[in-house]
Amino acid sequence: MPFNIPYGPPISAQRAQAAIQAAIAEATKHDWQVNIAVVDSGANLVAFLRMDGALLASIPIAEHKARAAVKYRRPTRVFEDAVQKSDYKFILSLDDVIASRGGIPLIEDGKIIGAIGCSGGAGSQDEAVCTVGATISK
């Protein structure tokens, strides 16, 4: 079964902050202003940062991407592809789904310890920033 990585203990605040700092470094390198949220393995917010100039409307979107990634144990790009490429619009009827790139599960020792969500740029930019932030948990 795909996306069956087990849930593990929740990410620590220190690890969550490190993921955010790595994501900020990537966003800054490209001059992108984004919001970055990290949730634990139970989808509870652990850390959040709004970069200077980041879109206010993207604050809850970053959190939503992180929660969807951890709850469904998969990157949110999967949902975007399901809607955009496969025309599986029914995906949008599932609770807490967001069909937009930028939510990535955080894996440690083969278990999901949380997820990172980024919003404020184009989907590809959000995903790129989150991908760098996600590497901190490996």
Reported pTM = 0.94
Write out the chain's pLDDT in tens, 138 residues. 478 899 999 999 999 999 999 999 999 999 999 999 999 999 999 999 999 999 999 999 999 999 999 999 999 999 999 999 999 999 999 999 999 999 999 999 999 999 999 999 999 999 999 999 999 855
Radius of gyration of the chain from Cα atoms? 14
Dist CA 69 CA 82 (whole Å)? 15
Buried b / exposed e across 6-33, counting CB within 10 Å, b at 16+?
A: eebebbeeebbbbbbebbbebbeeeebe
Amino acid, single-letter form, for residue 81: D
Domains of the chain and CATH, by start: 13-135 (3.30.450.150)
